[in-house]
Amino acid sequence: MTTPAIKGQAGLTGNSAIAYGMKQINPDVCAAYPITPSTGIVEEFSGYVADGAVDTEFITVESEHSAMSACIGASAAGARVMTATSSQGLAYMWEMLYIASGMRLPIVLTDVNRALSAPINIHCDHSDSMGARDAGWIQLYSETVQEAYDNLLQAVRIAEHKDVMLPVMVCLDGFITSHAIENITLINDADVKEFIGEYQAAHPLLDTDNPVTYGAMTLPDTYMEFKHQQSKAIARSKDVVSEIGKEFGKKFGREYGLMEKYKLDDADAAIVILNSAAGTTKVAVDELRKAGKKVGILKPRLFRPLPYREIADALRNVKSVAVLDRVDSMNGFGGPLFNETRSALYELEKRPKVISRIFGLGGRDYKVKDAVQVFDELLKIADTGKVESLTKYIMNKES
């Protein structure tokens, strides 16, 4: 393994790290409409454009719907395209998200997770990205600023892989990660360019020698074939995410898989959780381990496509599991991560007991003591085999 020329340590917010990563990627087009808490990404990247640090065509638009529409047009024309948004901005793109994925366009979007209205709230939860979970976008979740930066670089390779050709959403928690300053290791510009490579569009509209059509009308005799191909492509992307994560590790020393298992191998009780709250939960695990309690964490990095076999394998020997969702599906039966994790475990002959806990909506704080309380409940379930409350909100209101 050759050691790459690392750019060095830097103290950056999540938004600044994403904007800097976009500068290094130097996309052909960025169409965006700023919205809190992702505004900093668009502001900083537009500064790079104004200063001539990138060759990107930056398109200012009147709405997020227009932003994704412009991204779709540019990508179909053969450009490498990136954008960023949050919350209602992602919701305003809803119609176009499905068109981007249905047209198999490798757009990369950073979603800085923020609660959807109403009531209006500018703080973090996962109602925006989880609401779009079935839109045909690959979804990567990021615990830290470093992981968000690294995920962004890998997202370009994943989206543009010949076996995939689908848009990718990189998610990080609003304010908690987007505005927090962390020391991260930046990769040298030349090594980023070498890693992502030159973009070669598969079927660009501007290739007049090989004419193609995007967005054509299809009837029942062909529509299902398109969707079947799209479904197979997103299923294939799971292996591509793994391969590119390993390649990234070999080049830059930080390897990424489909998920992170933290002290899970001998655990009796486990919490499954996404993004920044995993870090808080790790502190609780460390405290409980010192007290001799066998607890651990499963932190999925890839949520779409769902690595259900790998999730089942990771949790097969655990006695009790709590899945913590920072969003409620409003289905009367817990959050999306809970429902899908529980389904993933169904084929196991010996399944752990699984409970749902909703936490942190609208930026409600999630503390180490909250995680400890969940683990205490799980260890009781592990001992008795009985679940007293299948679904419940964690309603800590203390400042």
* Amino acid 397: pLDDT: 73
Q: Is residue 204 classed as helix, strand or coil in its secondary structure?
A: coil
Q: E strands within the chain?
A: 6-13, 29-32, 57-60, 81-85, 108-113, 138-141, 168-173, 181-187, 259-262, 269-272, 295-300, 302-304, 320-325, 353-358, 391-393
* Amino acid 1: pLDDT: 38
* Amino acid 28: pLDDT: 98
Beta-bridged to residue 32, according to DSSP, are: 60
* Amino acid 8: pLDDT: 84
Q: Which residues of the chain have pLDDT under 50?
A: 1-5, 399
Query: Which value, to the nearest 10 degrees, does the dihedral of the CA atoms of residues 152, 154, 160, 162 take?
Result: -160
Contact call for residues 172 and 146 (beta carbons, < 8 A)? no
Q: What is the set of domains in the chain, with CATH numbers?
A: 6-252 (3.40.50.970), 259-393 (3.40.50.920)
Alpha-carbon span 76 to 212, nearest angstrom: 10
| Main-chain dihedrals φ then ψ at residue 22, nearest 5 degrees | -65, -40
CA dihedral sign of residues 42, 34, 32, 136: positive
CA 116 to chain centre: 17
Contact call for residues 326 and 274 (beta carbons, < 8 A)? yes
